[in-house]
Protein backbone atom coordinates (compact mmCIF):
# COMPACT_ATOMS: atom_id res chain seq x y z
CA UNK A 1 0.00 0.00 0.00
CA UNK A 2 1.37 3.42 -0.96
CA UNK A 3 1.86 6.41 1.34
CA UNK A 4 -1.24 8.32 2.49
CA UNK A 5 -2.30 11.14 0.19
CA UNK A 6 -2.92 14.62 1.52
CA UNK A 7 -6.17 15.03 -0.45
CA UNK A 8 -8.93 12.82 0.94
CA UNK A 9 -10.64 11.84 -2.39
CA UNK A 10 -7.32 10.72 -3.83
CA UNK A 11 -6.63 8.84 -0.66
CA UNK A 12 -9.97 7.08 -0.95
CA UNK A 13 -9.44 6.13 -4.59
CA UNK A 14 -5.92 4.99 -3.87
CA UNK A 15 -7.06 2.88 -0.95
CA UNK A 16 -9.88 1.37 -2.99
CA UNK A 17 -7.50 0.46 -5.78
CA UNK A 18 -4.88 -0.87 -3.38
CA UNK A 19 -7.38 -3.26 -1.82
CA UNK A 20 -8.23 -4.69 -5.19
CA UNK A 21 -4.56 -4.85 -6.14
CA UNK A 22 -4.00 -6.85 -2.96
CA UNK A 23 -6.89 -9.15 -3.85
CA UNK A 24 -5.49 -9.58 -7.36
CA UNK A 25 -1.99 -10.33 -6.09
CA UNK A 26 -3.41 -12.79 -3.55
CA UNK A 27 -5.36 -14.52 -6.32
CA UNK A 28 -2.20 -14.76 -8.43
CA UNK A 29 -0.35 -16.26 -5.47
CA UNK A 30 -3.04 -18.85 -4.92
CA UNK A 31 -3.27 -19.78 -8.59
CA UNK A 32 0.51 -20.02 -8.86
CA UNK A 33 0.40 -22.71 -6.21
CA UNK A 34 3.65 -21.64 -4.57
CA UNK A 35 2.10 -22.06 -1.18
CA UNK A 36 -0.50 -24.38 -2.61
CA UNK A 37 -3.68 -24.12 -0.52
CA UNK A 38 -5.79 -24.89 -3.53
CA UNK A 39 -3.22 -26.34 -5.87
CA UNK A 40 0.03 -28.08 -5.00
CA UNK A 41 -1.10 -31.50 -6.22
CA UNK A 42 2.51 -32.60 -6.71
CA UNK A 43 3.38 -32.28 -3.05
CA UNK A 44 3.69 -35.53 -1.11
CA UNK A 45 0.64 -36.32 0.98
CA UNK A 46 0.92 -36.49 4.75
CA UNK A 47 -0.04 -39.86 6.25
CA UNK A 48 -1.93 -40.26 9.52
CA UNK A 49 0.52 -40.00 12.39
CA UNK A 50 -0.19 -43.06 14.51
CA UNK A 51 2.15 -41.76 17.20
CA UNK A 52 -0.29 -38.91 17.82
CA UNK A 53 -3.67 -40.23 16.72
CA UNK A 54 -5.51 -43.25 17.99
CA UNK A 55 -7.39 -45.46 15.58
CA UNK A 56 -11.19 -45.24 15.85
CA UNK A 57 -11.29 -48.64 17.55
CA UNK A 58 -8.62 -47.73 20.09
CA UNK A 59 -10.22 -44.39 20.83
CA UNK A 60 -13.66 -45.85 21.44
CA UNK A 61 -12.18 -48.68 23.53
CA UNK A 62 -10.43 -46.06 25.63
CA UNK A 63 -13.72 -44.20 26.08
CA UNK A 64 -15.40 -47.40 27.18
CA UNK A 65 -12.64 -48.21 29.68
CA UNK A 66 -12.75 -44.67 31.09
CA UNK A 67 -16.50 -44.87 31.58
CA UNK A 68 -16.00 -48.25 33.31
CA UNK A 69 -13.63 -46.67 35.82
CA UNK A 70 -16.06 -43.84 36.70
CA UNK A 71 -19.54 -45.32 36.83
CA UNK A 72 -20.66 -42.70 39.35
CA UNK A 73 -20.11 -39.88 36.85
CA UNK A 74 -20.01 -41.40 33.39
CA UNK A 75 -22.41 -43.63 31.51
CA UNK A 76 -22.31 -44.78 27.91
CA UNK A 77 -24.73 -46.03 25.31
CA UNK A 78 -24.31 -47.08 21.70
CA UNK A 79 -27.19 -45.92 19.53
CA UNK A 80 -27.82 -47.82 16.32
CA UNK A 81 -29.86 -47.19 13.19
CA UNK A 82 -29.88 -48.16 9.55
CA UNK A 83 -31.26 -50.50 6.96
CA UNK A 84 -30.08 -53.93 5.79
CA UNK A 85 -27.60 -52.29 3.43
CA UNK A 86 -26.12 -49.76 5.78
CA UNK A 87 -25.82 -49.68 9.56
CA UNK A 88 -24.48 -46.92 11.78
CA UNK A 89 -23.45 -46.85 15.44
CA UNK A 90 -23.00 -43.71 17.50
CA UNK A 91 -21.38 -43.86 20.93
CA UNK A 92 -22.81 -41.36 23.43
CA UNK A 93 -21.18 -40.65 26.80
CA UNK A 94 -23.17 -38.87 29.50
CA UNK A 95 -21.40 -36.97 32.26
CA UNK A 96 -23.26 -36.02 35.41
CA UNK A 97 -21.09 -35.13 38.40
CA UNK A 98 -23.84 -35.44 40.92
CA UNK A 99 -25.25 -38.53 39.24
CA UNK A 100 -28.51 -36.68 38.79
CA UNK A 101 -30.95 -37.58 36.11
CA UNK A 102 -31.84 -35.16 33.39
CA UNK A 103 -34.38 -32.77 34.77
CA UNK A 104 -35.47 -29.18 34.71
CA UNK A 105 -32.89 -28.21 37.32
CA UNK A 106 -29.96 -29.26 35.18
CA UNK A 107 -28.19 -27.32 32.49
CA UNK A 108 -27.77 -29.59 29.50
CA UNK A 109 -24.93 -29.55 26.98
CA UNK A 110 -24.63 -31.70 23.85
CA UNK A 111 -21.28 -31.88 22.04
CA UNK A 112 -20.58 -33.76 18.84
CA UNK A 113 -17.14 -34.50 17.43
CA UNK A 114 -16.01 -36.27 14.29
CA UNK A 115 -19.03 -35.54 12.09
CA UNK A 116 -16.62 -35.41 9.17
CA UNK A 117 -14.37 -38.44 8.82
CA UNK A 118 -11.10 -36.67 8.01
CA UNK A 119 -11.21 -34.36 11.05
CA UNK A 120 -9.45 -36.77 13.43
CA UNK A 121 -8.26 -34.10 15.82
CA UNK A 122 -11.81 -33.35 16.97
CA UNK A 123 -12.26 -36.86 18.42
CA UNK A 124 -8.93 -36.54 20.23
CA UNK A 125 -10.30 -33.36 21.88
CA UNK A 126 -13.44 -35.28 22.86
CA UNK A 127 -11.39 -38.00 24.53
CA UNK A 128 -9.23 -35.50 26.40
CA UNK A 129 -12.33 -33.67 27.56
CA UNK A 130 -13.76 -36.89 28.97
CA UNK A 131 -10.46 -37.52 30.78
CA UNK A 132 -10.65 -34.00 32.21
CA UNK A 133 -14.27 -34.40 33.32
CA UNK A 134 -13.44 -37.67 35.04
CA UNK A 135 -10.45 -35.88 36.66
CA UNK A 136 -7.99 -38.50 35.47
CA UNK A 137 -6.14 -35.82 33.51
CA UNK A 138 -5.61 -32.19 34.39
CA UNK A 139 -5.90 -29.49 31.77
CA UNK A 140 -2.93 -27.09 31.80
CA UNK A 141 -3.94 -23.69 33.12
CA UNK A 142 -7.21 -24.90 34.62
CA UNK A 143 -7.52 -24.73 38.41
CA UNK A 144 -8.31 -28.22 39.80
CA UNK A 145 -11.06 -26.75 42.00
CA UNK A 146 -12.72 -25.35 38.89
CA UNK A 147 -14.66 -28.53 38.18
CA UNK A 148 -16.13 -28.47 41.69
CA UNK A 149 -17.46 -24.98 41.17
CA UNK A 150 -18.75 -25.32 37.66
CA UNK A 151 -20.05 -28.78 36.95
CA UNK A 152 -22.45 -29.66 39.73
CA UNK A 153 -25.64 -28.70 37.90
CA UNK A 154 -24.56 -29.74 34.42
CA UNK A 155 -25.38 -32.81 32.41
CA UNK A 156 -23.06 -33.13 29.42
CA UNK A 157 -23.51 -35.58 26.57
CA UNK A 158 -20.46 -36.15 24.39
CA UNK A 159 -20.53 -37.90 21.02
CA UNK A 160 -16.82 -38.57 20.45
CA UNK A 161 -17.13 -39.90 16.91
CA UNK A 162 -20.40 -39.17 15.12
CA UNK A 163 -19.29 -40.56 11.78
CA UNK A 164 -17.58 -43.86 12.59
CA UNK A 165 -18.14 -45.39 9.13
CA UNK A 166 -16.63 -42.35 7.38
CA UNK A 167 -13.75 -42.33 9.82
CA UNK A 168 -12.98 -45.96 8.96
CA UNK A 169 -12.73 -45.01 5.29
CA UNK A 170 -10.19 -42.33 6.21
CA UNK A 171 -8.21 -44.88 8.20
CA UNK A 172 -8.22 -47.21 5.19
CA UNK A 173 -6.44 -44.55 3.15
CA UNK A 174 -9.16 -42.23 1.85
CA UNK A 175 -7.69 -39.28 3.70
CA UNK A 176 -9.96 -36.66 2.10
CA UNK A 177 -13.24 -38.41 2.95
CA UNK A 178 -15.56 -36.21 4.96
CA UNK A 179 -18.85 -38.02 4.23
CA UNK A 180 -20.36 -41.06 5.89
CA UNK A 181 -19.85 -44.67 4.86
CA UNK A 182 -22.08 -44.31 1.81
CA UNK A 183 -21.02 -40.92 0.53
CA UNK A 184 -23.43 -38.52 2.21
CA UNK A 185 -22.30 -35.38 4.02
CA UNK A 186 -23.85 -35.60 7.48
CA UNK A 187 -23.70 -31.82 7.81
CA UNK A 188 -26.00 -31.41 4.80
CA UNK A 189 -28.55 -34.11 5.69
CA UNK A 190 -30.69 -32.14 8.17
CA UNK A 191 -33.99 -30.60 7.21
CA UNK A 192 -33.46 -26.83 7.45
CA UNK A 193 -33.09 -25.62 3.87
CA UNK A 194 -32.13 -29.17 2.89
CA UNK A 195 -30.98 -29.90 -0.63
CA UNK A 196 -30.54 -26.35 -1.84
CA UNK A 197 -27.56 -26.11 -4.13
CA UNK A 198 -25.53 -22.97 -4.58
CA UNK A 199 -23.87 -22.19 -7.91
CA UNK A 200 -20.57 -23.47 -6.53
CA UNK A 201 -22.11 -26.66 -5.10
CA UNK A 202 -19.52 -29.41 -4.87
CA UNK A 203 -21.29 -32.79 -5.23
CA UNK A 204 -18.32 -34.74 -3.91
CA UNK A 205 -17.96 -32.74 -0.73
CA UNK A 206 -21.57 -31.84 -0.02
CA UNK A 207 -23.84 -34.70 -1.12
CA UNK A 208 -26.97 -34.03 0.99
CA UNK A 209 -28.46 -37.54 0.60
CA UNK A 210 -31.76 -38.56 -0.96
CA UNK A 211 -33.95 -36.78 1.62
CA UNK A 212 -33.65 -34.98 4.95
CA UNK A 213 -32.52 -37.52 7.59
CA UNK A 214 -31.96 -40.20 4.99
CA UNK A 215 -28.79 -41.16 6.89
CA UNK A 216 -28.88 -43.25 10.07
CA UNK A 217 -26.18 -41.14 11.75
CA UNK A 218 -28.31 -38.01 11.30
CA UNK A 219 -31.41 -39.90 12.51
CA UNK A 220 -29.57 -40.94 15.67
CA UNK A 221 -28.30 -37.43 16.38
CA UNK A 222 -31.72 -35.92 15.78
CA UNK A 223 -33.34 -38.41 18.14
CA UNK A 224 -30.65 -37.83 20.76
CA UNK A 225 -31.01 -34.04 20.61
CA UNK A 226 -34.79 -34.14 20.67
CA UNK A 227 -34.93 -36.36 23.74
CA UNK A 228 -32.13 -34.57 25.61
CA UNK A 229 -33.35 -31.04 24.81
CA UNK A 230 -30.00 -29.33 25.39
CA UNK A 231 -29.41 -25.69 26.27
CA UNK A 232 -26.10 -25.78 24.41
CA UNK A 233 -25.15 -27.59 21.21
CA UNK A 234 -21.67 -27.56 19.72
CA UNK A 235 -20.77 -29.27 16.46
CA UNK A 236 -16.98 -29.56 16.50
CA UNK A 237 -15.06 -29.50 13.22
CA UNK A 238 -11.64 -28.69 11.83
CA UNK A 239 -10.27 -27.14 8.64
CA UNK A 240 -10.01 -23.57 9.88
CA UNK A 241 -10.20 -21.59 13.11
CA UNK A 242 -13.71 -20.22 13.59
CA UNK A 243 -16.50 -19.93 16.11
CA UNK A 244 -19.88 -19.88 14.43
CA UNK A 245 -23.46 -19.34 15.47
CA UNK A 246 -26.47 -19.81 13.18
CA UNK A 247 -27.15 -19.40 10.40
CA UNK A 248 -25.18 -21.57 8.01
CA UNK A 249 -27.73 -21.39 5.17
CA UNK A 250 -27.93 -17.62 4.98
CA UNK A 251 -25.67 -14.68 5.44
CA UNK A 252 -27.07 -13.42 8.75
CA UNK A 253 -27.41 -14.26 12.43
CA UNK A 254 -30.60 -14.70 14.47
CA UNK A 255 -31.87 -11.62 16.25
CA UNK A 256 -32.85 -10.89 19.83
CA UNK A 257 -31.25 -11.62 23.17
CA UNK A 258 -29.98 -15.06 22.13
CA UNK A 259 -27.75 -13.31 19.61
CA UNK A 260 -26.05 -11.36 22.38
CA UNK A 261 -25.66 -14.41 24.59
CA UNK A 262 -24.07 -16.41 21.77
CA UNK A 263 -21.91 -13.51 20.66
CA UNK A 264 -20.50 -12.86 24.11
CA UNK A 265 -19.69 -16.54 24.70
CA UNK A 266 -17.94 -16.87 21.33
CA UNK A 267 -15.95 -13.70 21.83
CA UNK A 268 -14.75 -14.82 25.24
CA UNK A 269 -13.75 -18.26 23.95
CA UNK A 270 -11.96 -16.58 21.06
CA UNK A 271 -10.09 -14.20 23.33
CA UNK A 272 -9.05 -16.75 25.92
CA UNK A 273 -8.51 -19.93 23.96
CA UNK A 274 -8.24 -19.06 20.27
CA UNK A 275 -6.10 -16.05 21.14
CA UNK A 276 -8.13 -13.81 18.85
CA UNK A 277 -7.37 -15.86 15.75
CA UNK A 278 -10.83 -17.33 15.27
CA UNK A 279 -13.36 -15.81 12.91
CA UNK A 280 -16.51 -15.13 14.92
CA UNK A 281 -19.95 -14.81 13.38
CA UNK A 282 -22.62 -16.75 11.56
CA UNK A 283 -21.43 -19.78 9.62
CA UNK A 284 -22.95 -18.52 6.38
CA UNK A 285 -21.56 -15.02 6.84
CA UNK A 286 -18.07 -15.98 7.92
CA UNK A 287 -16.86 -19.21 6.38
CA UNK A 288 -17.11 -17.91 2.83
CA UNK A 289 -19.91 -20.13 1.52
CA UNK A 290 -23.48 -21.02 2.47
CA UNK A 291 -24.22 -24.50 3.83
CA UNK A 292 -27.72 -25.96 3.57
CA UNK A 293 -29.14 -28.73 5.75
CA UNK A 294 -26.68 -28.37 8.63
CA UNK A 295 -27.03 -29.71 12.17
CA UNK A 296 -26.55 -26.35 13.86
CA UNK A 297 -29.27 -24.59 11.88
CA UNK A 298 -31.67 -27.44 12.76
CA UNK A 299 -30.76 -27.32 16.45
CA UNK A 300 -31.46 -23.61 16.58
CA UNK A 301 -34.47 -23.30 14.29
CA UNK A 302 -36.36 -26.53 14.90
CA UNK A 303 -35.31 -27.83 18.31
CA UNK A 304 -34.93 -24.28 19.69
CA UNK A 305 -31.59 -24.96 21.32
CA UNK A 306 -30.86 -21.40 22.50
CA UNK A 307 -27.08 -21.66 22.21
CA UNK A 308 -26.14 -23.47 19.02
CA UNK A 309 -22.59 -23.38 17.75
CA UNK A 310 -20.17 -24.83 15.27
CA UNK A 311 -16.53 -24.70 16.38
CA UNK A 312 -13.72 -25.01 13.85
CA UNK A 313 -10.73 -25.80 16.01
CA UNK A 314 -7.76 -26.13 13.69
CA UNK A 315 -6.74 -25.68 10.08
CA UNK A 316 -3.50 -25.54 8.14
CA UNK A 317 -4.21 -23.05 5.38
CA UNK A 318 -0.75 -23.61 3.91
CA UNK A 319 -1.45 -27.28 3.20
CA UNK A 320 -1.87 -28.27 -0.47
CA UNK A 321 -5.48 -28.97 -1.37
CA UNK A 322 -5.11 -32.74 -1.59
CA UNK A 323 -3.07 -33.06 1.58
CA UNK A 324 -6.16 -33.50 3.70
CA UNK A 325 -4.63 -35.03 6.80
CA UNK A 326 -2.32 -32.05 7.17
CA UNK A 327 -5.02 -29.55 6.25
CA UNK A 328 -7.45 -30.73 8.92
CA UNK A 329 -5.17 -32.08 11.66
CA UNK A 330 -2.00 -31.01 13.49
CA UNK A 331 0.93 -33.13 12.35
CA UNK A 332 3.51 -32.39 15.03
CA UNK A 333 3.39 -33.25 18.72
CA UNK A 334 3.64 -29.68 20.00
CA UNK A 335 0.75 -28.38 17.90
CA UNK A 336 -1.31 -31.48 18.59
CA UNK A 337 -0.91 -31.06 22.32
CA UNK A 338 -1.59 -27.34 22.18
CA UNK A 339 -4.81 -27.77 20.16
CA UNK A 340 -6.12 -30.56 22.38
CA UNK A 341 -5.40 -28.68 25.61
CA UNK A 342 -6.66 -25.29 24.43
CA UNK A 343 -9.97 -26.62 23.17
CA UNK A 344 -10.47 -28.79 26.18
CA UNK A 345 -10.02 -25.67 28.31
CA UNK A 346 -12.36 -23.78 25.96
CA UNK A 347 -15.15 -26.26 26.63
CA UNK A 348 -14.58 -26.03 30.37
CA UNK A 349 -14.82 -22.25 30.09
CA UNK A 350 -18.03 -22.55 28.12
CA UNK A 351 -19.55 -24.83 30.78
CA UNK A 352 -19.01 -22.00 33.24
CA UNK A 353 -20.15 -18.99 31.24
CA UNK A 354 -22.99 -20.41 29.11
CA UNK A 355 -25.52 -20.89 31.97
CA UNK A 356 -24.81 -17.35 33.16
CA UNK A 357 -25.10 -15.73 29.76
CA UNK A 358 -28.29 -17.59 29.00
CA UNK A 359 -29.64 -16.54 32.40
CA UNK A 360 -28.84 -12.93 31.52
CA UNK A 361 -31.10 -13.11 28.48
CA UNK A 362 -33.99 -14.48 30.53
CA UNK A 363 -33.51 -11.57 32.92
CA UNK A 364 -34.27 -9.15 30.10
CA UNK A 365 -30.82 -7.60 29.97
CA UNK A 366 -31.20 -7.22 26.26
CA UNK A 367 -34.42 -6.82 24.37
CA UNK A 368 -35.46 -6.15 20.80
CA UNK A 369 -34.13 -7.48 17.55
CA UNK A 370 -30.44 -6.81 17.42
CA UNK A 371 -29.57 -9.47 14.87
CA UNK A 372 -26.57 -8.75 12.79
CA UNK A 373 -27.76 -7.52 9.43
CA UNK A 374 -24.30 -6.61 8.15
CA UNK A 375 -23.49 -10.08 6.89
CA UNK A 376 -23.04 -12.03 10.09
CA UNK A 377 -19.35 -11.24 10.60
CA UNK A 378 -19.53 -10.01 14.15
CA UNK A 379 -15.96 -8.96 14.64
CA UNK A 380 -16.36 -6.15 12.16
CA UNK A 381 -19.83 -4.89 12.99
CA UNK A 382 -18.97 -2.81 16.06
CA UNK A 383 -17.01 -0.26 14.11
CA UNK A 384 -19.79 0.18 11.60
CA UNK A 385 -22.32 0.75 14.35
CA UNK A 386 -20.08 3.32 15.99
CA UNK A 387 -19.69 5.20 12.76
CA UNK A 388 -23.40 5.13 12.08
CA UNK A 389 -24.03 6.94 15.34
CA UNK A 390 -21.41 9.61 14.66
CA UNK A 391 -23.60 12.06 12.77
CA UNK A 392 -26.55 12.17 15.13
CA UNK A 393 -25.66 15.31 17.00
CA UNK A 394 -26.65 17.90 14.45
CA UNK A 395 -29.51 19.72 16.16
CA UNK A 396 -30.31 22.56 13.81
CA UNK A 397 -28.17 25.18 15.46
CA UNK A 398 -26.16 27.50 13.29
CA UNK A 399 -22.77 26.19 12.56
CA UNK A 400 -19.82 28.41 11.90
CA UNK A 401 -17.58 27.84 8.97
CA UNK A 402 -15.09 26.02 11.17
CA UNK A 403 -17.71 23.55 12.38
CA UNK A 404 -18.90 22.92 8.84
CA UNK A 405 -15.37 22.09 7.77
CA UNK A 406 -14.97 19.78 10.74
CA UNK A 407 -18.18 17.93 9.94
CA UNK A 408 -17.20 17.68 6.29
CA UNK A 409 -13.85 16.17 7.26
CA UNK A 410 -15.55 13.72 9.60
CA UNK A 411 -17.96 12.74 6.85
CA UNK A 412 -15.14 12.13 4.40
CA UNK A 413 -13.17 10.14 6.95
CA UNK A 414 -16.22 8.02 7.76
CA UNK A 415 -16.76 7.34 4.08
CA UNK A 416 -13.15 6.27 3.65
CA UNK A 417 -13.27 4.00 6.72
CA UNK A 418 -16.53 2.42 5.61
CA UNK A 419 -15.14 1.84 2.13
CA UNK A 420 -12.03 0.27 3.64
CA UNK A 421 -14.10 -2.04 5.84
CA UNK A 422 -16.33 -3.00 2.93
CA UNK A 423 -13.36 -3.91 0.76
CA UNK A 424 -11.72 -5.82 3.61
CA UNK A 425 -14.90 -7.84 4.09
CA UNK A 426 -15.02 -8.74 0.44
CA UNK A 427 -11.37 -9.68 0.21
CA UNK A 428 -11.49 -11.71 3.43
CA UNK A 429 -14.58 -13.61 2.43
CA UNK A 430 -13.05 -14.37 -0.95
CA UNK A 431 -9.65 -15.42 0.29
CA UNK A 432 -10.84 -17.39 3.34
CA UNK A 433 -12.61 -20.21 1.63
CA UNK A 434 -13.49 -20.48 -1.98
CA UNK A 435 -14.94 -23.79 -2.96
CA UNK A 436 -11.94 -25.05 -4.89
CA UNK A 437 -10.88 -27.46 -2.19
CA UNK A 438 -11.93 -29.44 0.86
CA UNK A 439 -14.52 -27.67 3.01
CA UNK A 440 -14.36 -27.33 6.78
CA UNK A 441 -18.04 -26.76 7.70
ZN1 LIG B 1 -16.10 -30.50 9.04
Distance separating alpha carbons of residues 162 and 175, to the nearest angstrom = 17
Q: If you average pLDDT over residues 125-131, what whole number do you get?
A: 98
**Does residue 384 share a domain with residue 318?**
no
Residue 32 confidence (pLDDT) above 80: no
**Last residue of one domain, picked from the residues 362, 390, 406:** 362
Residue 312 confidence (pLDDT) above 60: yes
C-alpha 419 to ligand 1 mean position (Å): 33
**Does residue 280 share a domain with residue 169?**
yes
**What is the predicted pLDDT for the residue at 39?**
38
**Does residue 304 share a domain with residue 388?**
no
Q: If you average pLDDT over residues 413-441, what whole number do you get?
A: 68
**What is the predicted pLDDT for the residue at 1?**
38
C-alpha 214 to ligand 1 mean position (Å): 19
Q: If you average pLDDT over residues 48-57, what whole number do you get?
A: 98
**Is 205 domain-assigned?**
yes
**Does residue 25 share a domain with residue 156?**
no
Q: If you average pLDDT over residues 109-114, what whole number do you get?
A: 98
Task: Name the residue with higher pLDDT: 183 or 383.
Answer: 183
Q: Which domain holds residue 395?
A: 8-35+379-432
The residues carrying an active-site annotation are 312
The pLDDT tens digits for 134-175 are 999 999 999 888 888 899 889 999 999 999 999 999 999 999
**Does residue 383 share a domain with residue 351?**
no
Residue 12 confidence (pLDDT) above 90: no
**Does residue 419 share a domain with residue 327?**
no
**Average pLDDT score, the chain:** 83
Least confident of 149-158, 213-222, 304-313, 324-333: 149-158
Q: What percent of the chain has pLDDT over 70?
A: 76
**Is 370 domain-assigned?**
no
Residue 388 confidence (pLDDT) above 80: no
C-alpha 49 to ligand 1 mean position (Å): 19
C-alpha 94 to ligand 1 mean position (Å): 23
**Last residue of one domain, picked from the residues 362, 391, 412:** 362
CATH code of residue 121:
3.40.630.10
**Is 48 domain-assigned?**
no
**Does residue 428 share a domain with residue 338?**
no
The pLDDT tens digits for 253-300 are 999 999 999 999 999 999 999 999 999 999 999 999 999 999 999 999
**Does residue 387 share a domain with residue 321?**
no
C-alpha 119 to ligand 1 mean position (Å): 7
Residue 424 confidence (pLDDT) above 90: no
**Does residue 110 share a domain with residue 73?**
yes
**Does residue 60 share a domain with residue 19?**
no
Q: If you average pLDDT over residues 57-83, what whole number do you get?
A: 97
**Last residue of one domain, picked from the residues 311, 331, 362:** 362
C-alpha 176 to ligand 1 mean position (Å): 11
Q: If you average pLDDT over residues 89-105, what whole number do you get?
A: 82
C-alpha 17 to ligand 1 mean position (Å): 35
**Does residue 198 share a domain with residue 147?**
yes
**Is 157 domain-assigned?**
yes
Residue 346 confidence (pLDDT) above 60: yes
Domain count of the fold of the chain: 2
**Is 415 domain-assigned?**
yes
Which residues have their alpha-adjacent CB atom under 5 A from ion ligand 1? 116, 237
C-alpha 279 to ligand 1 mean position (Å): 15
C-alpha 310 to ligand 1 mean position (Å): 9
Task: Name the residue with higher pLDDT: 367 or 202.
Answer: 202
**Is 51 domain-assigned?**
no
**Is 441 domain-assigned?**
no
**Is 3 domain-assigned?**
no
The pLDDT tens digits for 392-404 are 333 444 446 666 7
**Does residue 245 share a domain with residue 173?**
yes
The pLDDT tens digits for 161-211 are 999 999 999 999 999 999 999 999 999 999 999 999 999 899 889 999 999
Amino acid sequence: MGPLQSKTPFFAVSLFCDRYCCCFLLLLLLVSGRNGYYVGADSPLTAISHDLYRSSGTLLDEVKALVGRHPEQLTMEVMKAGDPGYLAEVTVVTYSRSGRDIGNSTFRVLLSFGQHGRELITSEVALRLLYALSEETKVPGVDPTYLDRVLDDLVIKVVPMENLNGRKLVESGELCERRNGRGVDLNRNWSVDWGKKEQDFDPYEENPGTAPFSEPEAQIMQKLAESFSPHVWVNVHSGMEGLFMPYDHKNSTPGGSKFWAMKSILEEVNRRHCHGRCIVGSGGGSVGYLAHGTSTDYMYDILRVPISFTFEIYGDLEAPSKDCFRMFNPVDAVTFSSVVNEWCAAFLLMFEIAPRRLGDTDGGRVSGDYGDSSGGLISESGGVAALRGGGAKVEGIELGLQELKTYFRLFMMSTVVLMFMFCTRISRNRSRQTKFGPLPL
